[in-house]
Amino acid sequence: MAKSYLLSRQAIWIVLGCLVCQAGAGLFYASRALAPDVIGELGWTRTMWSSAMAPMIFVTSVLQAVIGAACVRYGIRPVLVVSVLSLGVTFFVMAGMYSLPVFYLATMFLAIGNAGIGDVSVGAVITRWFDRSRGVALGFAFAGSNIGAVFFVHAVTEWTGLFGWRGASIALGAVSIVAILPFALFVVRDPRAGEGEQTASTAAPGEVSAGIRRVDAPEPAGDDDVDLRQALRSPAFWILFFTIFCYAVAQLGMLDHLILHLVDLGYERGEAANALELTVGAGILAKVSAGTIALRIRTRHLLVANTALLALGVALLPFAADPRILAVSGVAFGIATSARDVLIPLATAEFFGARHFAAIYGMMMLAYFPGGGLGPIVLARAYDVLGSYESGFAVFLGILVLALIGQVFAARRSFGIRMPAAG
């Protein structure tokens, strides 16, 4: 049974290893927590700070598109090792920066690291090891980025008070390598022949390998899996592509400016950091529970509800001077952006199957470049020109409504049924 395999020693070690490697993604959140100190010491504008986001997301997006192929050719371990080392180097470079070009260099290392320990590589490993319980395994593995974010944001706040932001950066780089590299080297690996959860051949009719009950898929997944060329001709691909774009705009825009926004509203630096920790911490339960809930509710329906929740979180941000509203907004924002990490891969598998998952999902992640680059700049320019973030929040809310319209269309029962490969 799927449950017994998920609780087996082999499965636990694979999921734990993926979780720890994904914790490295939390270093991105920690880098955003340094914004007030860096801007204050170096005299940068917020547009200057945010200008590094676009090239970073560009590199991450391009690498995401080829990470799947790299994992197939070289295996998962070399990809993870290079990525973890790149994350550590990021903060060594930041510790010595005094100019924008050096900041850009640091973000390039951060981009390489994020791409290699991101959704495509870890998602591909989990997809190959697990079948019926894939959604639950993805949820636990992807929760690592939120766990890492809570730890690293708290650590950098404490270490900045003790050592200054440059000393805190050195500590972050060293701790991340020491803590994560052993798991990348010795724990996470690709399954050998005969290993992994083997339930596809015994799954009941109407169930797919993503662990989702589907009344519109009478045959087990596999024979009708869609390749990348077919996926690019499907409206479902472009709806998910635009969804990723919209989430990137909102998520990366707010992560880049949340602490700055809260300091502007009168919060102390520690209080603002605590709010960021609450936001990313709320995502831990979201990721773990999203996979379980997806066993019972169609992923496309969950995605609609999730995007509506994100829109609510964004709509409340202008009123975040009230701590109660800040808490509601932060929890909604954290749950929605974190559940996306599970729901989009599951929706991809639901629409297109598991066989070409890495290639299709990697291509979808190209949407992160325009979205992730645009979000921080929209907020930065809104603040630098108008003196507040409110107009930027309105832009975010508008595009999320557009994404909701597309997702409602895709949620129809007959939409996106996989086609047999052309013969």
CA distances from 32 to 86, 129, 169, 258 (A): 17, 34, 12, 9
- Phi, psi (deg, nearest 5) at residue 249: -55, -50
Task: Kindly report, residue by residue over 280-338, the tens digit of the pLDDT.
Answer: 888 888 888 877 787 788 888 889 999 999 999 999 999 999 999 999 999 999 999 98
- CA dist 133 and 409 (Å) reads 28
DSSP secondary-structure letter at 318?
G
Averaged pLDDT score across all residues of the chain? 84
- Contacts with 173 (C-beta within 8 Å, 6 or more apart), sequence order: 87, 88, 89, 90, 91, 92, 95
Task: Kindly report, residue by residue over 333-356, the tens digit of the pLDDT.
Answer: 999 998 887 788 888 888 887 677
Q: Report the first-to-last Cα separation within the chain, whole angstroms.
A: 35
In a domain, 423, yes or no: no
In a domain, 416, yes or no: no
Please give the angle made by the CA atoms of 265, 267 and 269, to the nearest 5 degrees.
125
- Phi, psi (deg, nearest 5) at residue 213: -70, 125
CATH at residue 278:
1.20.1250.20
In a domain, 199, yes or no: no
- CA dist 60 and 342 (Å) reads 19
In a domain, 323, yes or no: yes
In a domain, 90, yes or no: yes
Task: Kindly report, residue by residue over 21-65, the tens digit of the pLDDT.
Answer: 999 999 999 999 999 999 999 999 999 999 998 888 888 878 877
Token pair belonging to 137: 């395994």
Give me the domain span that covers residue 392: 2-190+207-410
In a domain, 195, yes or no: no
Token pair belonging to 190: 């690709």
Which residue shows structure tokens 């472009």? 238
Please count the structural domains in the chain.
1
Q: Is residue 368 very low, low, confident or very high in pLDDT (cuts 50, 70, 90)? A: confident
In a domain, 52, yes or no: yes
The confidence score (pLDDT) of residue 202 equals 44
Question: What b/e sequence results for 39-71 when a residue is b if at least 16 CB atoms lie within 10 Å of its CB, and e otherwise?
Answer: eeeeebebebbbbbbbebbbbbbbbbbebbebb
As a whole number of Å, the CA-based R_g of the chain is 21
Task: Kindly report, residue by residue over 219-233, the tens digit of the pLDDT.
Answer: 344 445 777 888 888
In a domain, 350, yes or no: yes
Predicted structure pTM score = 0.74
- Contacts with 360 (C-beta within 8 Å, 6 or more apart), sequence order: 226, 227, 228, 231, 237, 348, 352
Residues in the chain, overall count? 423
Q: Is residue 213 very low, low, confident or very high in pLDDT (cuts 50, 70, 90)? A: very low
The confidence score (pLDDT) of residue 415 equals 58
Please give the angle made by the CA atoms of 356, 187 and 360, to the nearest 5 degrees.
15
Element (H, E) at 172: helix 134-186
Angle, in degrees to the nearest 10, between helices 299-316 and 323-352: 150
- Contacts with 177 (C-beta within 8 Å, 6 or more apart), sequence order: 84, 85, 87, 88
